[in-house]
Amino acid sequence: MALLRDPLLNKGTAFTEEERDAFGLRGFLPAHVLSMQEQVERTLINLRSLPSDLEKYIALNALHDRNEALFFRVVCDNIDEIQPLIYTPTVGLACQRFGLIFQRPRGMFIGANDRGRIGELLGNWPYQAKLIVVTDGERILGLGDLGAHGMGIPVGKLSLYSACAGVHPEHCLPVMLDVGTNNEELLNDPYYIGLRQKRISGAAYDEFVDEFITAARETFPGVLIQFEDFANHSAFRLLHKYRDKTSVFNDDIQGTAAVALAGLFSALRVGGGKLVDQTVLFLGAGEAATGIADLVVSAMRAEGASEADAIRRNWLVDSRGLVVKDRPGLTEHKLRYAHEHAPIGDFLTAIETLKPTAIIGVAAVGGAFTPEVLQAMARINQRPIVFALSNPTSKAECSAEEAYRHTGGRALFACGSPYDPVEFDGKTFVPRQGNNSYIFPGVGLGAIASGSRRVTDEMFMAAAHTLAYLVNDDDIEQGSLYPALPRIREVSAHIAAAVAEVAYKRGLATGQAPNDLIGYIESQMYDPHY
């Protein structure tokens, strides 16, 4: 019976006649033995009959809790269909309803009141974690503070690690640092699952996180820790505090940066020109915007630009308008891009004034790329680069259809949320998601497989180049700036190899570099089967 209850070992109706005898399963299962393929088909029939994406999310979660191999087989073989259900955009709604749809706990909830015994808690985890995705729930997608309900994000990300890059589920640990929430609605919600208190902050918060990082490293030596959906004021600080001490990265800052840079490289294959000649205007000045800008600056420098020139080619617009030098009260992470310039209050005027070749939306302001914005970009550029990266779909700056329609089909477009192909002027465009799910699974796999002691910007640069390199001519022809999602395991393997190569070259890896790096990486990848 224990076997049927263990999701890592359970095969359900696929236990063979021999296994039913050997493991004392007789009587617990109906007579007919199904193959895994039949189970996959049955799962899909059930799933497709459900009326809403949230119900599909719940059904997939329940399968995940019953039978991991089957869950991951379903995800791997139908990634286009399933990724939007287990991750963005559906996971956003799932987090908003987390208290209501909660069934079985997954991962670890570590509360502010667990100070002093976090090591003991982590010691309860029955597996040897190699990869932790941790959040404190303060900035979930573009949805704000969802407190402990943000746990859907680490769970979803780790599912993608196993499905897209073959990191074994046994090595994955989702963690919610429940430090409270400042979301009044949740504090008054009878079904809120987290601590009913305001967030701890300042030294108490930092000491709590520090105890967690120290305990995680002691309990799981060599573990890679991915920070996920922390608010600005914590995200930058935590990354800078730990990045040179241990193996950590922040996907919202660094993963997003690599996927956006790869998209820019692809766009330039169509539009012509060099990165170093682009002017990039961001809507948003947070983790994604400054993370992308920093990596774009590094890539421009690699093309020969001076640091000052490269920085000056990146501009930020936040809720108060263009980020300029004389504006009082700028937060630290914006200062690098606060250029000498007269204030500009709105995005459209910023476009008309600065004449960017690319606009990148990462402000979580739905509809902010208005027809006027898109038309202005099309007036200024022959092939305007338009990335509407905010998630979930309700926060997208524009839809794919709007991007093509208002630029006369000339936009080089990438989106944060999935969109169907668009017919415009006799041509079919296939927009693809500029989603960091192209990047983080491969980066994590490469870091784990090489036993890297750090995750560096050079690794994200290598990941961006690799991703862009894997975009083929057919993709480009149909307006896709990223490879097709069903190629994700091939993409992740190549990114992992590129990341591992950096780790070996820089002396960050554990052990000797294998002769056949890509073969070695592939041999490490979990392939769900019985």
Enumerate the active-site residues: 87, 157
- Window of 44-52, 208-216, 351-359, 363-371 that interacts with ligand NAD by CB under 6 A: 363-371
- Per the CB < 8 A criterion, the answer to whether 290 and 337 are in contact is yes
**What contacts 529, CB < 8 A, 6 or more positions away?**
36, 69, 73
56 binds ligand NAD (CB under 6 A): no
- Window of 14-22, 109-117, 152-160, 311-319 that interacts with ligand NAD by CB under 6 A: 311-319
333 binds ligand NAD (CB under 6 A): no
Distance CA 386, CA 481 (A): 11
395 binds ligand NAD (CB under 6 A): yes
Nearest alpha-carbon partner for 57 in 33, 88, 30: 88
Distance CA 67, CA 52 (A): 22
In the bound state with ligand NAD, the residue whose beta carbon lies nearer, of 256 and 399, is 256
In the bound state with ligand NAD, the residue whose beta carbon lies nearer, of 111 and 418, is 418
- Window of 30-38, 104-112, 316-324, 490-498 that interacts with ligand NAD by CB under 6 A: 316-324
Q: Report the residue from 58, 112, 262, 283 that binds ligand NAD according to the rule CB under 6 A.
A: 283
Task: For 225-234, give one letter per residue: b (16+ CB within 10 A) or e.
Answer: bbbbbbbbeb
> Closest distance between ligand NAD and the C-beta of residue 436, in Å?
4
Q: What angle do CA 392, 396, 399 make, to 5 degrees?
A: 120
- How is the chain split among helix, strand and coil, in percent rounded to 5? 50, 10, 40
142 binds ligand NAD (CB under 6 A): yes
Task: For 107-123, give one letter per residue: b (16+ CB within 10 A) or e.
Answer: bbbbbbebeeebeebbe
Distance CA 63, CA 221 (A): 31
Q: Which single residue brings its beta carbon nearest to ligand NAD?
A: 286
Which residues in the 90-129 window bind ligand NAD by CB under 6 A?
none
- Window of 183-191, 335-343, 359-367, 421-429 that interacts with ligand NAD by CB under 6 A: 359-367
Alpha carbon of residue 191 to chain centroid:
27
259 binds ligand NAD (CB under 6 A): yes
286 binds ligand NAD (CB under 6 A): yes
Q: Report the residue from 58, 175, 317, 461 that binds ligand NAD according to the rule CB under 6 A.
A: 317
364 binds ligand NAD (CB under 6 A): yes
> Closest distance between ligand NAD and the C-beta of residue 517, in Å?
27
Distance CA 387, CA 172 (A): 31
> Closest distance between ligand NAD and the C-beta of residue 416, in Å?
3
436 binds ligand NAD (CB under 6 A): yes
Distance CA 265, CA 261 (A): 6
> Closest distance between ligand NAD and the C-beta of residue 179, in Å?
18
365 binds ligand NAD (CB under 6 A): yes
Total residues in contact with ligand NAD, by rule CB under 6 A: 29
510: left (phi over 0), alpha (psi -120 to 50) or beta: beta
**What contacts 399, CB < 8 A, 6 or more positions away?**
388, 415, 419
- Window of 48-56, 107-115, 431-439, 504-512 that interacts with ligand NAD by CB under 6 A: 431-439
Distance CA 287, CA 9 (A): 39
234 binds ligand NAD (CB under 6 A): no
Distance CA 164, CA 106 (A): 20
Nearest alpha-carbon partner for 414 in 266, 286, 257: 266
- The H or E element containing residue 264 is helix 256-271
Give the per-residue SS3 of 208-240: HHHHHHHHHHHHCCCCEEEECCCCHHHHHHHHH
Q: Report the residue from 110, 200, 289, 488 that binds ligand NAD according to the rule CB under 6 A.
A: 289
In the bound state with ligand NAD, the residue whose beta carbon lies nearer, of 27 and 328, is 328
288 binds ligand NAD (CB under 6 A): yes
Q: Report the residue from 318, 397, 402, 475 that binds ligand NAD according to the rule CB under 6 A.
A: 318
389 binds ligand NAD (CB under 6 A): yes
In the bound state with ligand NAD, the residue whose beta carbon lies nearer, of 70 and 317, is 317
435 binds ligand NAD (CB under 6 A): yes
39 binds ligand NAD (CB under 6 A): no
In the bound state with ligand NAD, the residue whose beta carbon lies nearer, of 60 and 258, is 258
- Window of 17-25, 278-286, 295-303, 517-525 that interacts with ligand NAD by CB under 6 A: 278-286
Q: How many CB atoms sit inside 10 A of residue 48's CB? A: 9
Whether omega for the bond prior to residue 392 falls within 30 degrees of 0, making it cis, is yes
Residues that bind ligand NAD (CB under 6 A): 139, 141-142, 232, 252, 256, 259, 283-289, 317-319, 362-365, 389-391, 395, 416, 434-436
